[in-house]
Amino acid sequence: MKSDSSTSAAPLRGLGGPLRSSEPVRAVPARAPAVDLLEEAADLLVVHLDFRAALETCERAWQSLANHAVAEEPAGTSLEVKCSLCVVGIQALAEMDRWQEVLSWVLQYYQVPEKLPPKVLELCILLYSKMQEPGAVLDVVGAWLQDPANQNLPEYGALAEFHVQRVLLPLGCLSEAEELVVGSAVFGEERRLDVLQAIHTARQQQKQEHSGSEEAQKPNQEASPSSLPFLYKLTQLFRWIRKAAFSRLYQLRIRD
């Protein structure tokens, strides 16, 4: 909401009255061009449905961040802008059915998996698991989880569990899943038991499949998530990513 003239003049007054000429006036730093490009990209993505232009605008924003010194920008703001650009770019690639390029696209900007923001990594796990290609993110997520700096982040526990449920279990990497859950202090006792139970169940199913039991011939369950049409699941994924993009952009606008 815009302020009136009396409110906007308030910052020019000292504690004892109007600002004296001898008192320096602090200039408000101009907003980084990348923020404007981020808003443009989000508008192209959601309003105009021009996914190619949205992706190209994100890439221009990244180039702007590389060309301009970021020392004047608060560190948190710069990180948020970069993360939001990735969210919009991931959505644009997915909408153009270029989801296979997502991982390489984000890594070209962050260089190494360990530097990926938690939200971007979460989206990558969700996308590739929904597209039934969890193996594509196996090494990337593993490297991120092993990095000591990431283990202090508040999102670490949720991502570790997400990795178990969405990547390791579908790939049948049960020993690795068990090692991660038992060896990590981020799992509370109750949650650890729940995840270990899921691993145990998966191991039992794996044994049954290998033994050729009748369980492998069980008819499809009509209401199970795995039986949902593929395109329906993909549409739900796009909606989730779009909601995430709007949420992050809204947070940035509130801070301005």
Q: Is position 191 within any domain?
A: yes
Separation CA 213–CA 208 (nearest Å):
6
Mean pLDDT of the chain: 79
Question: Residue 78's pLDDT is what?
Answer: 84
Using alpha carbons, select from 93, 126, 80 the residue that is nearest to residue 253.
Answer: 80
- Furthest-apart CA atoms within the chain: distance in Å: 88
In this predicted model, which residue has the larger pLDDT, 189 or 25?
Answer: 189
Give residue-wise pLDDT tens across range 45-65: 999 999 999 999 999 999 999
- Band of pLDDT at residue 184, cut at 50, 70 and 90: confident
| SS3 label, residue 18 | strand
Give residue-wise pLDDT tens across range 119-170: 999 999 999 999 999 999 999 999 999 999 999 999 999 999 999 999 999 9
Q: Is position 107 within any domain?
A: no
Indicate whether 146 and 197 sit together in one domain.
yes
Q: Is position 17 within any domain?
A: no
Separation CA 148–CA 160 (nearest Å):
13
Q: Is position 148 within any domain?
A: yes
Q: Write out the residue range of the structural domain in which residue 137 sits.
A: 113-208
CB atoms under 10 Å from CB of 51, counted, come to 20
Question: Residue 113's pLDDT is what?
Answer: 97
Indicate whether 85 and 127 sit together in one domain.
no
**pLDDT mean over 215-241:** 47
Question: Residue 242's pLDDT is what?
Answer: 60
- Residue pointed to by tokens 């990095």: 147
Q: Is position 89 within any domain?
A: yes
Indicate whether 86 and 117 sit together in one domain.
no
The answer to whether 99 touches 93, Cβ cutoff 8 Å, is yes
Indicate whether 127 and 91 sit together in one domain.
no
Separation CA 55–CA 254 (nearest Å):
24
The total of structural domains in the chain comes to 2
**pLDDT mean over 225-241:** 49
